[in-house]
């Protein structure tokens, strides 16, 4: 029976192993870190207070409507002043930040709170 013997040549370094483990609790991934770089994280509310949308720093959002908490949840990405949404149910939408404190989304105007 013949076995295989690994040989390491002098002056070479084996390729480093890739760490595929999930980040430790309390740590964020690279994509989550990029999400915190935009200025729009926080609570956004329509003028009548009926729709409340929280953009979380981990790239997720949680939207309440009236007394219905967490009516919609999903992920989002901000590129410049444009925002894209992917709801957990498969619905997609987008919006535009017209200034630091105003978001136009779904025919509604949201203000930063």
Map out the domains of the chain as residue ranges: 30-112
Tell me what the pLDDT averaged over the chain comes to: 81
- pTM for the model stands at 0.68
19: enclosing H helix or E strand: none
CB 63 within 8 A of CB 53: yes
State pLDDT tens for residues 26-72.
444 555 445 456 899 999 999 999 999 999 999 999 999 999 999 99
Per-residue model confidence (pLDDT) at position 38 = 84
Q: Is the pLDDT of residue 94 over 60?
A: yes
Could you tell me the CATH superfamily of domain 30-112?
Answer: Uncharacterised protein family Atu4866 (2.40.128.290)
**Quick count: other Cβ atoms within 10 Å of Cβ 43?**
14
Percent of the chain, pLDDT > 70? 67
Q: Specify the residue for token string 């309390």.
A: 26
């Amino acid at each position: 029976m013949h076995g295989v013997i690994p040989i390491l040549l002098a002056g070479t370094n084996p390729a480093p192993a890739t760490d595929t483990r999930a980040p430790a609790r309390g740590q964020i991934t690279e994509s989550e870190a990029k999400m915190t770089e935009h200025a729009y994280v926080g609570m956004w509310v329509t003028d009548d207070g009926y729709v409340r949308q929280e953009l979380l720093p981990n790239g997720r959002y949680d939207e309440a409507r009236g007394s219905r908490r967490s009516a919609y949840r999903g992920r989002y990405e901000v590129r410049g002043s444009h925002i894209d949404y992917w709801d957990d149910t498969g619905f997609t939408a987008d919006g535009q930040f017209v200034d630091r404190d105003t978001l136009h989304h779904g025919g509604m105007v949201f203000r930063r709170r």
